[in-house]
Structures are given as C-alpha cells and as structure tokens.
C-alpha cells in the first residue's frame, strides 16, 4: 500500500502530461490518438524501426549510467555533453589512424573514447576540488570548448577530402564500424546495447553493494561529515567524475562508430542533457534508467512519423518530453511538500 501511495503522484503527473500533449495536438489541428499511435508505430512498428530505437537507446543508457554515479556523489555533471564529444573525438582519431583488423580498431576506439571522456570529466573535477569552481560552471565551460574543438577538427585537420563541410568528416573505413548482427531482415546493434545495459548493471552493483559505492553516497549526502569520519572526499569526487566521464566517452564512441560512422559537429545528439532528465525521473536509481531512457528514445525516434504522416514538426516529440518532465517534477515537489506537512502536523510526535 505504501508503494502504491508513493507512486500515485508520478502516475497523476504522467496522466496530466499525456492530457497536456493531447490538448496541444488538438490546438495544432492534429488527431491526438492517431499522433500518439504514430509515435509508437514509428519506434516499434517494424524490425528496422526497433533496431533504430535500440541504437539510439544505447548512448543514452551509457550517459545516464554515468550520471547516476555523479549524482550519487552530489555532483551536477552538466559537462557530460562535452565528455560525449571528446569521447567521440578520441574514437575518431583511432578510427582514422589505427590500422589492423576491425575488432582491434573497435576495442581500441572504445578504450580511447572512455579515456577521452574520463580526462574531460576530471578537468571539471579538478576545477571543483582544487580550484573551487562549481561543477555546473566548469562543466558548461568545458562543453563549449569541446563543441568548438569538434567544429575546428571537422572544418580543419579532419575535413572531408577536397572540401570543408559541417556535414562531418569522411566516412570511416568499414573496419572502424561497430559490427552489427543480421536477423529478421535488418541489422541489430547488439554491441552498443550490451555496452549500455552492462554499464547500468555495473553502476547498480557499484552503488548498492560495494564499499566505494557506500562511501560515495556518504560523500554525496554530507561531504563535511564524510570528511570528518576519515573519507577522502576529493578522491571520491574525482572517482565519480572519472567513472561518469568514461561512460559518457563510450557513448560518444557508439555515436561515431555505430551510428554516424563519422564525426559530425552535433555528435553528442543532446544525450547528455537528456540523460540528466532520465536520471531525475528515475529518482537517481540505476534500476529505472533503462525503461525511462527507452521511453524517451521511443518518443524521439517515433516523432519523425509525425512529419511524414501528419505534417507536424518532429520537434513535437521534444515538447512532449519536456511536458512529461515538467509535470513529473511538479508531482515530485507536491509529494515532498505533503510529506513535510504531514511530519510537521500538530499532534504528531
């Protein structure tokens, strides 16, 4: 009964968000239930659509798993977008320069992406722990630097043969493409999906059943008290940044080796910021990250059908995502306020 009561505000918020989405569709002159069905059909209506949805799901899983770790440490890792970008840049360097069989190139690209993302995250961590710069400001600054770097590389040293274009670098040779597995008439992104799910599982185990995870959560709950009982808080904060950045960097690797097969300026795909929303809706729990991330990705992938079939801008998917987040946040605040009033009610012990 307690679990049902605790879930009630979220369910009410989701229903309210769905109602708001229907109202928006009516205002735009679109049949609401057909539009909602197109979102489902556009993401799960065929084997190829399911494959595309899973491919988009994988980097969001990786970024969100890393964010669960940094949130557990009490850190707002806004720099995750830049970490995805630098991971993609590092993987692109490997794909462009490393000879050898495909499996060697892919393994090294994954390791390079993880290392690139980790180093970029540690820069924000060092700025916070030793420079007193809040991770939000440090992360945003590093996001801009990463975005500028990738544009410079695409238009400069790594420009397409014979032309500088913002459409990206030359397509990688096929040995640098992450392998897919064919079944039911389409190619399935098994490796990216496994990377994403394994990352969530590792984070869940790390935070639930290890000494590092318990200490990390202690640092996130009360860093001063954690320091007083002998926990080296700066080391744990940097460790959280390193893990989160490494997973974000692998997400960037997936973007360049499994999806685009080249480096493009918009390589992050917004997965960093979307991952923050996923983790917030998951209440910072790794267990709920996969279904919530899949829900968000399904809206993004399926929304392309709105333009093709109803003439609606596919950006409506982003509007619906934002509406859901807004209502769930309002529902969470309402629930927290009710709990606070209940505890402080007259006559309560």
**How many angstroms separate the most distant Cα atoms in the chain?**
79
Domain boundaries, the chain: 1-25+311-343, 57-297
Indicate if the pLDDT at residue 135 is higher than 60: yes
Given a cut of 60, is residue 347 above it in pLDDT?
no
Residue pair 257/104 in contact (Cβ under 8 Å)? The answer is: no
Strand 181-183 relative to strand 186-188: parallel, antiparallel, unpaired? Answer: antiparallel
User: What's residue 349's pLDDT?
Assistant: 47
**pLDDT at residue 109, as a whole number:** 97
- pLDDT, mean of residues 69-82: 95
pLDDT in tens, 272-309: 999 998 998 888 899 999 999 999 999 888 888 777 77
Residue 1's pLDDT band (cuts 50, 70, 90): very low
Query: Confidence class of residue 177 from pLDDT cuts 50, 70 and 90?
Result: very high
Residue 336 has a pLDDT of: 66
**338 vs 65: which has the higher pLDDT:** 65
Q: Mean of the pLDDT values across residues 315-330? A: 77
Residue 333 reports pLDDT greater than 80: no
Report pLDDT for 2. 46
pLDDT given for residue 5 in this prediction: 52
Q: Residue 228's pLDDT is what?
A: 87
Give tens-digit pLDDT for 256-276. Answer: 999 999 999 999 988 999 999
Indicate if the pLDDT at residue 81 is higher than 60.
yes
Instruction: Please give the structure tokens belonging to residue 73.
Output: 């440490």
Percent of all residues in the chain with a pLDDT value above 90, rounded to a whole number:
60
Angle in degrees, 0-180, between the axes of helices 190-209 and 47-72, rounded to the nearest 10: 30
Confidence of residue 180 (pLDDT cuts 50, 70, 90): very high
Q: Which residue has the tokens 């595309």?
A: 52
The structure tokens listed for 335 are 């629930």
Question: What sign results for the dihedral spanned by CA atoms 94, 124, 62, 275?
Answer: negative
What's the rounded mean pLDDT across residues 83-109? 94
Q: What pLDDT does 343 receive?
A: 61
| Secondary structure in 3-state letters for the chain | CHHHHHHHHHHHHHHHHHHHHHHHHHHCCCCHHHHHHHHHHHHHCCHHHHHHHHHHHHHHHHHHHHHHHHHHCCCCCCCHHHHHHHHHHHHHHHHHHCCCCHHHHHHHHHHHHHHHHHHHHHHHHHHHHCCCCCHHHHHHHHHHHHHHHHHHHHHCCCCCCCCCCCCCCCCCCHHHCCCCEEECCEEECHHHHHHHHHHHHHHHHHHHHCHHHHHHHHHHHCHHHHHHCCCCHHHHHHHHHHHHHHHHHHHHHHHHHHHCCCCCCCCCCCHHHHHHHHHHHCCCCHHHHHHHHHHHHHHHHHCHHHHHHHCCCCCHHHHHHHHHHHHHHHHHHHHHHHHHHHHCCCCCC
């Amino acid at each position: 009964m307690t679990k049902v009561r605790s879930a009630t505000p979220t369910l009410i918020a989701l229903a309210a968000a769905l109602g708001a989405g229907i109202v928006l569709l009516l205002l735009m002159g679109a049949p609401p239930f057909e539009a909602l069905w197109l979102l489902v059909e556009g993401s799960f209506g065929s084997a190829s659509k399911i494959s595309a949805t899973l491919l988009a799901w994988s980097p969001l899983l990786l970024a969100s798993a890393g964010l669960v770790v940094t949130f557990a440490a009490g850190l707002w890792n806004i720099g995750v977008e830049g970490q995805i970008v630098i991971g993609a840049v590092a993987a692109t360097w490997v794909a462009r320069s490393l000879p050898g069989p495909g499996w060697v190139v892919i393994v090294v690209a994954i390791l390079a992406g993880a290392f690139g993302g980790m180093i970029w995250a540690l820069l924000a961590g060092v700025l916070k722990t030793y420079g007193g710069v809040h991770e939000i400001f440090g992360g945003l600054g590093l996001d801009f630097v990463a975005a500028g770097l990738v544009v410079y590389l695409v238009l400069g040293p790594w420009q397409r043969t014979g032309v500088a274009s913002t459409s990206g670098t030359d397509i990688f040779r096929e040995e640098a493409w992450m392998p897919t597995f064919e079944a039911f008439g389409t190619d399935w992104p098994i490796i990216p999906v496994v990377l994403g799910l394994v990352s969530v599982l590792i984070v869940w185990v790390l935070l639930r059943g290890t000494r590092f995870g318990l200490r990390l959560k202690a640092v996130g709950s009360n860093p001063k008290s954690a320091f007083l009982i002998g926990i080296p808080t700066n080391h744990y904060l940097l460790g959280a940044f390193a893990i989160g950045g490494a997973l974000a960097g692998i997400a960037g690797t997936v973007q360049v080796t499994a999806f685009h097969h080249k480096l493009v300026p918009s390589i992050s795909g917004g997965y960093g910021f979307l991952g923050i929303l996923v983790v917030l809706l998951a209440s910072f729990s790794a267990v709920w990250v996969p279904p919530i991330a899949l829900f968000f990705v399904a809206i993004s992938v399926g929304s392309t059908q709105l333009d093709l079939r109803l003439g609606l801008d596919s950006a409506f998917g982003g509007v619906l995502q934002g509406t859901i987040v807004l209502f769930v946040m309002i529902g969470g605040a309402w629930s927290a306020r009710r709990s606070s009033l209940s505890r402080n009610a007259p006559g309560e012990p």
